[in-house]
Amino acid sequence: MDTDALVIRRATDHDAPAVAEVWLRSRAAALPGVRRAHTDRQVREWVRDVGVPVHETWVATVDGVVVGMMALDGGEVEQLHLDPSWRGRGIGDRLVALAKRRSPDGLALWTSRGDGPARRFCERHGFRAVEHADADADGGGHGGGHGGDEEREPGVRYVWTPGAVGRASGAVGVRTLTADDWRLWREVRLAALAEAPYAFGSRLADWQGPGDREERWRARLSIPGAYHVVVELDGEPAGMVGGVPEPGRDEAELVSLWVAPDARGRGVGDRLVREVERWAVRAGAGLLRLAVVPGNEHAVGLYRRHGFVDEGPVGDALPDGRREHVMVKPLPTGRAPPAEPTGRVRAGGAEPLSPGRARRTPSARDG
């Protein structure tokens, strides 16, 4: 086989087994001395149930055989792997070129500090190192070892920004929150309630004065099985979202999504929706639901773009007598491994939905 027959296309469910094998072979060749946190079976199941259905995954094929794969998440290259026997033939170059076309404003990725070929590959394509993470630091994923990696390999974060010296990278970072991050959640939550009071069931006054207490913020981030995320642009908070399990049902709810005004139109809202969707799939939910205030057409457009369907004004009653619109999206069935093979650390994101958990509390659902 030669690369004259190379085809790059979106992956389908049928490609999942081959994609997983490429991932496994590439990882073993790049980091032969590193013990992986997941078994081969877990990786294959994750690729089948989450990797291909949820990510924007592309495959490179030669004569119908998958020889490379790439997974994108907005401006983040989540995975890029080639079958070891097909390296050095320009396939990786073609995949990176595709990623740049898909995200012309910039890209970011993580790779292992010790993976010299991968780092040289990134630098050859105009990426520059912006962060060095120790083995126990948080990080994202390129498919090699990196900061936040469950294999505890130190990593390097690279960004590519088209053509400009001194321009901010626009790289998107994701922070999964625990109760100890209550100050950050408080900062973003109060900004959201002040900037967009029409979009939330809570009022700013409810969370100020006597309502502005550390134990209350910590409690909000300690709901069993819930998932809270802040997205950052160039290191600054740019948006937030939460995911809450629905006890007794294989369902979950997306709550509290907000994007800062200066970050709108830059893919932050899309990233927040995808983060909660992936959490819900990992948790075993078959349906993701949300409520949106009638008239918030920008939010409705975002959710429709991600496959949500409006069930009408059947949600909670609003003070003016109207009702929230409920939107739902069926999710891929099947349980995934407790964390992505990229090694991202997502505290609280791997807990399954199960009967017996308390129904959402008012503080969890109020916006």
pLDDT digits (tens, 9 = 90+) for 99-134: 988 888 899 999 888 788 888 889 888 898 888 776
What are the structure tokens assigned to 333, written together?
């069935």
What pLDDT is stored for residue 4 in this prediction? 59
Assess whether 67 and 110 both reside in one domain: yes
What pLDDT does residue 210 have?
87
In a shared domain, residues 53 and 198? no
Number of domains in the chain: 2
Q: Is residue 305 part of a domain?
A: yes
- Asked if residue 309 and residue 186 are part of one domain, the reply reads yes
Residue with tokens 């929230």: 324
Q: What is the pLDDT of residue 145?
A: 34
The domain containing residue 16 runs over which residues? 3-164
Question: Alpha carbon 341 to chain centroid distance?
Answer: 13
pLDDT per position as a tens digit, 200-236 = 877 888 888 888 899 999 999 999 999 999 988 767 7
Q: What is the band of 3 on the pLDDT scale with cuts at 50, 70, 90? A: low
Question: pTM for the complete prediction?
Answer: 0.49
146 and 226 part of one domain: no
What percentage of the chain has pLDDT greater than the value 70?
A: 79
Residues 104, 201 share a domain: no
Q: Is residue 169 part of a domain?
A: no
Q: Are 132 and 225 in a shared domain? A: no
**What's the pLDDT at 340?**
38
- d(CA 7, CA 101) in angstroms, rounded, equals 16
Q: Is residue 50 part of a domain?
A: yes
Q: CATH number for the domain including 200?
A: 3.40.630.30
On whether both 241 and 103 belong to a single domain, the answer is no
Q: What average pLDDT does the segment 290-297 reach?
A: 87
Look at residues 164, 194, 219 and tell me which one is the last residue of a structural domain: 164
Indicate whether 127 and 56 sit together in one domain.
Answer: yes
Are 272 and 135 within one domain?
no
Does 194 lie in the same domain as 286? yes
Residues 6+ positions from 87 with CB-CB distance below 8 Å: none
